[in-house]
Chains A and B, each alone.
Chain A
Amino acid sequence: MTTTRTVKDKTAIVGVAVSEFSRDSGRTEYSLAAQVVRDAVVDSGLSFDEIDGIVKDISDGIDPMYLQKAVGIEHAQFASDSHWGTSAIVSGITAVAAGICKNVVYYRSVNGASKRRAGNDFRAAKEMQDESLDLLRYDFYSPFGLLTPSGMAALCARRYLHRYGVDMSDLAWIPAVASEYAAANPRSAFFEKPMSFEECADSPAEVDPLRAVDCAPDVDGAVALVITSAERAKDLPHPPAIVMAAAQATSTEGELFSSFNRPDITGLPEMKLMGDELFRVAGVQRSDVKAAQFDDRFSFLVAMQLEELGYCERGDGGAFCAKGERIRRDGDLPLNTNGGFLGEGFLYGANVIEAVRQIRGTSSSQVENADLVLVASGAGGPADGLLLRR
C-alpha cells in the first residue's frame, strides 16, 4: 500500500458549502446540489472555469453532467462516482495529487427525510437490474423482515454488547454528547436543547437494542467542497485544510451493515486498515489529533471506531465516552463537534466539512488550536478517512 504516500501534503480543501438542513427542503436534489457546488466554488476563491474535476457519491441521483450544465462548468477531465462513505473525496484528492486534474468539486445532495428523491421510479428499476449483488443480500434478508440498515446494525450491536458485557446505557453518552454539540450548532434541525444521559439511556427502543437516539435521523440537505493543490491553496482567501493523508480500505466478507459471515461481527476491520494507513502516511500519533469526526450513523459505531482507530482497547469504546469528558470540546479527543450525523442528520460529507471548519477556526464548537483533525467515514462498509492539518 504505497500509493497513498503520494498524497501526503499535496492537496488541500479550500472551499466548503452546506445548504439548509431540514425535514423537507421543498426543493429538488438537483437544485440543492447546484446551490452548494456554486457556493463552495465561490468560497474557495477559484473561478468556475478552473474546476476540472467533479466527484460524488454513487447514492446521489444527480449525475455530474447535469450539475455541470446548471452551474456552468464547461469542461472536466476527471469525474468519479465513488461508493459509500466519503470515498469520492479521497478519489478527488488522489486525482489532484496525481495531476489528472487541478481543481475538484465534491458534492452530495440528498432529500433523505422528505424522500423527494431524484428519479425514484428510475432508481427502483435500476436497482432491480444492475445491483444484483445488493439484491443477493436482500434475497436472504427481506423474506424475514430484515429490511433496514438499522435492523442489520442492531444485529451487530447486540453481538458487540454480548461479547464485551456492556449494555446500551453504557453507550448513551455518545448520543447525549452529540445532542450537546447539535444544540450549539445553528444548522441542526433536530436539537434545540441537549438531551441528558438519562434521557438518552431511558429512551424507547427503535430496533432493539438500538434506540431512536442511536440512529441518525434522515435529513434533506446538500454539501459541497473544493479540493486543489497545496501550492494553489497558498493564494486563496481561506486558510487551507492541508490533506496530510487520505485512505480507503475494504475487508473480507464485507457487506453494507450485514457482514454477518465474518469471523467477528463486533468490529470494523476496514476501519482499522484505513486508520493504520492514515497515521503511517501522515507520520503523526493518535494523541496529536486535536478533534475528530467519526461516522455516527448509529451511535455504537463511534465506540467501534474509537477501538479500531487505536484510541482504546476492543470493547472499551463506551467507557472512553463515559460522562462525555474526553469527547467534549475541552476533552482530549473532541468528537463530532457539529453533533455528527446523530445531530445534523445522515449526510456524508458534512463530517468532512466540520473538520475543515475546525481547521479554519469557524466551528460552532471550536476546539482551541485545532491544527490536526481526523475524519473517518464508511463505518459498516468500505471505510475511508482523512487527516487534515493547518
Chain B
Amino acid sequence: MTSSYDPTRDVPRPARWEVLYRSSGPFWDGVASGKLLLQRCASCARWLTPPRPMCPGCQSREHEWVQSTGRGTVHSFATYRHAPHPAFPAPHSVVLVELEEGPRLVSSLVGIAPENIAVGQAVEVVFTHAADDFTLFQFKPAA
C-alpha cells in the first residue's frame, strides 16, 4: 500500500492486517496474480465463500484454494444513482455473480452500460488495475 493511497478518495482496498489476512489474504494474493481462487474444504470439498476458518459441513480446519474458471452468470445487480463514494461516480452498478462452481461474489462489470445489465446474463472474469499497485477482479459479458 503506497503512501499516496487515500481511502476517502481512492477505490477502497481490502484490509490486509493479520486478523483478516489469514482468511482473505490468499484470495487477494490470487487476484494480484490474475487468478480467481476459491476456498474449498480439503476434507469434504464444500465451497467456503466468504472464506472462514472451519468448514460448517464437517468442521475440518483444512482447506485449499482452487482456481475458478471465472465464468458465471449475473445473479442480481443494483445501480447507485448517487455516488456512494468518490471513487464510484454515478450511475454505479454492483453485481452479484454466481460462478459456475456455485459460490457467489460481489463485483462490478466492465464493457456494458448499467441499463443493459440483465439477471441471468453470462459473464467472465477480467483483472483490472485500480491503481499501480492494486488489482481488482471484475466481470465482462461472456464472449
B5 contacts the other chain (CB 8 A): no
Partner of B80, one of A136, A145, A162, A252: A145
* Residue pair A139, B20 in contact (C-beta under 8 Å): yes
Is B43 in contact with chain A by the CB < 8 A criterion?
no
Whole-angstrom CA separation of A207 from B79 in the bound complex: 5
Contact check: which of B11, B14, B104, B114 meets A260 at CB < 8 Å? B104
User: Which residues does chain B contribute within 8 Å of A157, judged by CB atoms?
Assistant: 78
Residue A164 interfacial (CB < 8 Å): no
How far, in Å, is B39 (CB) from chain A's closest CB? 12
Contact B84 A158 (CB under 8 A): no
Cross-chain pair count, CB within 8 angstroms = 110
- Which secondary structure characterizes the binding site on chain A? helix
Distance, CA A151 to CA B12, complexed state (A): 16
- Nearest chain A CB to B139's CB is how many angstroms away? 10
Chain A residues contacting B20 (CB-CB under 8 Å) are 132, 135-136, 139
Q: Mark B77-121, 1 if CB is under 8 A from A, else 0.
A: 111111011011001101010000001111110000010000110
Which residues of B sit under 8 angstroms from A155, Cβ to Cβ? 76-78, 94, 96, 106
CB distance from B81 to the nearest CB of A (A): 5
B50 contacts across to A, CB distance below 8 A: 136-137, 139-140, 261
Residue of A nearest to B138 (CB): A144
Q: Cα distance A159–B76 when bound, in Å?
A: 5
Min Cβ gap A302→B in Å is 19
B79 x A136 contact (CB < 8 A) = no
What are the residues of chain B within 8 A of A146 when measuring CB–CB? Answer: 78, 84, 94, 106
- A146-B106, A260-B104, A261-B104 known; A205 and B81 CB under 8 Å? yes
User: What's the Cα separation between A260 and B92 when bound, in Å?
Assistant: 19
List 18 A-B pairs, Cβ < 8 Å. Answer: A136-B51, A137-B50, A139-B15, A142-B12, A142-B14, A143-B14, A143-B136, A144-B106, A145-B88, A146-B84, A147-B84, A151-B78, A155-B94, A157-B78, A159-B96, A162-B119, A205-B81, A206-B81
Closest A-B pairs by Cβ, 8 of them: A154-B78, A145-B88, A142-B12, A208-B79, A159-B76, A139-B14, A158-B76, A146-B94
- Interfacial residues, chain A to chain B (CB-CB below 8 A): 128, 132, 135-148, 151, 154-159, 162, 204-210, 252, 258, 260-261, 265
